Amino acid sequence: MVGTGILKGMVETARNFVGSYTDEARLTTVEYPEERVPLQEATRQFPFLVHDGPDAHAGLRCVACQICEKECPPQCIYIEKSKDKKPDYLGKPQFYPAIFDIDISVCMSCQICVEVCPFEAIKMDTAFELSNTDRFGGLLWHKEDLAKSNEHYHKIHPTEATAVDERLAAEKAKAEAKANAEAEAKARAAAEAKTKAAGATAPRAT
């Protein structure tokens, strides 16, 4: 029948109109800030530095390689490398950032710093209520403000953080297996050299 499509469309529009007032799942407006919509896992605002364990300095994953500083499009990351080293998650001595600042007023939340970091050390936070009356000091975040635990990372991005943990654990297991194999080979070579030396100095039968 001519006009059936128009009628169907109008019924659908009316259903949506009434539903948007009566169906709780479709009430998209909330009374913020008292009421809050749960954030999606992919939400991103500004970067933070991940640390493992309770000590933010000892567990900081960042090794001050400065790749993120070079790649940041608006150049809002400032890093100064330490003079000494501390062990990373593999126990390997690494530099760490003596200074790591991000100017949040310039950051455009592009996540490029996260993508280029080879150490899973910098991730995007979801915090967004960051207004401040100090335009300069208040929005220049230092290492102490940026460092957040791996538990925080799991809380805001559980799927991603679990995948990262698995990757780091696999890398650690591989590094440990390699170190054990090297130590065993070294011990075997030393034992062989000792046996050889003992054979060479033993008195010959006449």
3 state SS of 11? helix
Verify binding: residue 109, ligand SF4, rule CB under 6 A: yes
The binding track of 43-62 with respect to ligand SF4, each residue x by CB under 6 A or -, is ----x--------------x
d(CA 80, CA 78): 7
Asked if 123 contacts 153 with a C-beta cutoff of 8 angstroms, the reply is yes
Verify binding: residue 119, ligand SF4, rule CB under 6 A: yes
Q: CA separation (Å) from 156 to 81, 126, 150?
A: 29, 7, 10
Verify binding: residue 161, ligand SF4, rule CB under 6 A: no
Q: Find the angle CA(4)-CA(7)-CA(9) to the nearest 5 degrees.
A: 110
Closer residue to ligand SF4 in complex, CB, 3/137: 137
CB of 110 to ligand SF4, least distance (A): 4
Asked if 68 contacts 119 with a C-beta cutoff of 8 angstroms, the reply is no
CB of 43 to ligand SF4, least distance (A): 14
Verify binding: residue 82, ligand SF4, rule CB under 6 A: no
State the residues that interact with ligand SF4 by CB under 6 A.
47, 62-68, 72-74, 76-77, 79, 102, 107-113, 117, 119, 121-122
